[in-house]
Chains A and B, each alone.
Chain A
Amino acid sequence: MSDFAVEFDNVTKKFGDNVLFEHFNFNIRKNEVVSIIGPSGSGKSTLLRILMTLESIDAGMVRVQGESLWHMQKNGAWLPADERHLRKCRGHMGMVFQHFNLFPHMTVLRNITEAPIHVLGQSKEEARANGMELLRTVGLADKADAYPSRLSGGQKQRVGIARALAMKPSILLLDEITSALDPELVDEVLEVIRKLAAEDAYTMMLVTHEMYFAREISDRVCFFDAGQIVEEGPPEQIFNAPNHERTRAFLNSFLNI
């Protein structure tokens, strides 16, 4: 059994003729919290989207909890993964989106219980009890019956987190979860993530522009640019003593705004 929760093995990803990355190798250990930082448009989010099966890969192998994601073995031969295989793999992961993507036609509680009931097969009572418990964790128990359109951005994102957690994933993928928020609402969302990171029960992969936050909660920070990891290491090293000129330039651009 692999020690890694996530493995990118020689992965190539293209959009048309545009090569996003080639021969990309990257691993995340179990229960490690990893932040990916880097310029916009460098394809950081694509890494998360490949894991969540929202984007396919063009070459190489991706493994999630030791299991190949985009390929399956049948009678000794490797075949492209079918929907059933993908659904099995997705069960390991939960994703929180930049734009929340809450279901607008469902109440907050139903947003959280819909998938546990219909995908995991939980009973309604069980799912509701779990859902209320999660809402209490993110501080929104009083909003259970509200529709998402009535919530602030920060509240929406906390529901987004609770919704992902309800599926009991072992890996959490957080895709710029504070980018769409007004500055004063960022903290309430980060507070929730801070608590989750402290539990040490999840493998977490964050794509973020919140440098201070990345520094605070990550075990490892990776600077991703032009299709490769330019530099990675413990947060102190990356933020205090970056080796690479590009990393330094990028971090400086953040300090200057």
Chain B
Amino acid sequence: MPLSEIFDVLSGGALVTVQIVVMALPLATFMAFLSGLLRLSDHRSLRWTATVYVEFFRGTSALIQLYWIYFVLPFFGISIDAITAGVVALGFNIGAYGSEVVRGGLLSVDKGQTEAAIALNFSPRQRLWRIILPQALVGMMPPFGNLAIELVKATSLVSLITIADLTYRAKSLADMTLQVEEIFGLVLVFYFVMAQVLTLCIRALEKYLGKGMDRGGLT
């Protein structure tokens, strides 16, 4: 098979991979913020629920979570297609790791900021959304960037539940053509480029969010 044809097939797979990332990333972000905020809540039951979620998804393995959602849930009458299973499993998994980032980021903001916000009579909600979170976000960006790359890498797992993503197509092509060096070499480069692009985006976001702040990478 000519290299250009291999490239075309793999590009189609890369598109599927990107689609899954685009769907799972917002879910992971949402879960990370939801559980990260709940873990700092005053209500013990909310804190506990969030902690159980985080410990559970971090303590077991992403592939097992994926299989469980894909193979076990249908027996409970919850029919779920492969893409949804992949997005949910990866979103929940990465979200659990992100929870720690959100919690740590919020706690790292200087206590004086909360005190100033109280002195200016902001409501508890305004303190969080207007004062604390915008500052915490800047520090969260580098670890979030790493997690986003972990997500891209983890999407390769969906090839094991028959989604025709980059990894899946690479393996099928390899079984078919035996041009294994070109195929897998190319696939690795594909993933590498995706990760680098993502890193650049996150850096730009960090710089934007940190405008004016000393730690925001401004000289």
Contacts from A to B (Cβ < 8 Å): 52-54, 83, 87, 90-91, 93-95, 97, 99, 101-107, 114-115, 118-119, 147-150, 163-164, 167
Contact = CB atoms under 8 A, between A and B. Distances in A.
A91 B122 CA distance: 10
Interface string B100-142: 0000000000101101101111111010001100110010000
A103 B113 contact: yes
B212 A167 contact: no
B121 A91 contact: yes
A167 B120 contact: yes
B213 interface: yes
A97 B121 contact: no
A162 to B, nearest CB: 12
A36 to B, nearest CB: 18
User: Which residue, B115, B122, B211, has most C-beta atoms of chain A within 10 A?
Assistant: B115
Given A87-B123, A119-B120, A149-B218, 6 more contacts: A54-B118, A97-B115, A103-B131, A104-B135, A105-B138, A118-B126
Contacts of A147: 211-213
A207 B124 CA distance: 27
B160 to A, nearest CB: 43
A103 B211 CA distance: 12
B119 A95 contact: yes
B118 A53 contact: yes
Contacts of B218: 149
A22 to B, nearest CB: 25
B183 to A, nearest CB: 47
B119 A164 contact: yes
Nearest to A118: B126
10 contacts: A54-B115, A91-B121, A95-B116, A99-B112, A103-B116, A104-B213, A104-B214, A118-B122, A118-B130, A149-B212
Contacts of A102: 116
Contacts of B138: 105
Contacts of B214: 104, 149
A205 to B, nearest CB: 13
Nearest to B137: A105
B118 A52 contact: yes
A251 to B, nearest CB: 30
User: Which residue, B116, B123, B218, has most C-beta atoms of chain A within 10 A?
Assistant: B116
A95 B138 CA distance: 27
A94 B119 CA distance: 6
B126 A119 contact: yes
Contacts of B130: 114, 118
A115 B211 contact: no
> 5 closest Cβ contacts across the A-B interface?
A147-B212, A101-B116, A115-B120, A101-B112, A95-B119
Interface in B179-219: 209-214, 218
A163 B113 CA distance: 13
B119 A54 contact: yes
Contacts of B212: 104-107, 147-150
